[in-house]
Chains A and B, each alone.
Chain A
């Protein structure tokens, strides 16, 4: 059994078959809902009738569209064309986090393999940082810096190569970011497409 609000909801849903019997039963004893159902039936008939009267586009419509298309500058279509997605490696290089990660990995590798004193100093600094005061930690960092500058001068060509490889992603990202920024800064704003009819 449903009430008036249930009939209203059923009508608003487009009178689905589910709920028909209940609505009919209610309408037999509710003149208001009976009238609402009759109105809904009339409305559906009007909507169906309206569907058969789809308006026709004005005469010459297609010619007018094609004339506008013919008058379109070639650049308009080129501008509307989808931009080709950059290759994955370029997208990856454009990510600062990826560039930093790619630079850090060879640096860690070079230190671990070819700069044992810098590695040992780093380890001891980390230990100090976790167990000692700020002053002691800072002195440990300065010791690492001194070790690093001394060993960078004397490091093997292999270690230098690995460090140089580590710099490539950073340089690539810097170039990409700079060119993107310059491109957006220097290119003129895109003109709106013409709206007038030809």
Chain B
């Protein structure tokens, strides 16, 4: 393993740098791969966290994804962005892990159902503003596929085509997931908070969004 950082990481366009890093990683240069890990770790971890909803499991999933990426980087052809390819690995690992966690959770919920329900459902006396924790609970109420699609589309600012490529879904399926997620979140927002969480004058603010 070489200890020096790749020279290409310091000059040239980011895309060219990334291609050089990928090439060197495919050739066994662990230092080059380390740069790729540094660049993409937060996003990979963020996507994993959205799907498995547990920090230790998300860390495990993201690490596992990078190790698998290292093993298979020779297969990366550059048809898509490296991050898209990496998201695909994270997505697969996270879905597998989520299935294991769900089985475990089902057993635990059978013993203590009230704890889990309280964790997911918005509390009646909670702050009615759009606080991050409550919003994350709303996101958690979506299906795994919807969470992944929402995360990549909104948080990672990916196009529908890129999300489809990352999650290995047809674009129509991505659009359906997005549509259902928006509908579910909107309904949950209205149900959980009544009308008070919704700022008045929605129609006036809408021009900023569309």
**Chain A interface (Cβ within 8 Å of chain B)?**
8, 11-17, 20, 24, 27-28, 34-51, 53-58, 61-62, 64-66, 68-70, 72, 76-77, 79-82, 193, 195, 197
Contacts and interface: CB of A to CB of B under 8 A. Distances in A.
A134 B198 CA distance: 88
Interface stretch (B30-38, B112-120, B161-169): B30-38
B159 interface: no
B154 A61 contact: no
Nearest to B178: A14
B173 interface: no
8 tightest A-B CB contacts, nearest first: A38-B202, A80-B71, A12-B179, A57-B45, A57-B41, A47-B154, A51-B155, A41-B202
Contacts of A42: 130, 189, 197-199, 202
Contact of A11 (B67, B155, B183): B183
Contacts of B189: 39, 42-43, 46
Contacts of B41: 57, 61-62, 65
Contact of A54 (B28, B67, B132, B155): B155
B49 interface: yes
B111 interface: no
Given A55-B45, A58-B59, A82-B74, A20 B34 contact: no
Contact of B186 (A40, A66, A70): A40
B127 interface: no
A40 B70 contact: no
Nearest to A19: B210
A60 to B, nearest CB: 10
A59 to B, nearest CB: 11
A38 B198 contact: yes
Contact of A39 (B30, B132, B155, B186): B186
A50 B154 contact: yes
A46 B130 contact: yes
11 contacts: A12-B179, A36-B186, A39-B190, A39-B198, A41-B199, A42-B197, A43-B182, A50-B136, A56-B42, A61-B41, A66-B33
A47 B54 CA distance: 20
A47 B186 contact: no
A14 B182 contact: yes
Contact of B132 (A16, A50, A70, A193): A50
Given A8-B183, A43-B185, A57-B59, A62 B154 contact: no
A62 B34 contact: yes
Contacts of A79: 71
B122 interface: no
B78 to A, nearest CB: 14
B210 A69 contact: no
Nearest to B63: A65
A48 B41 CA distance: 21
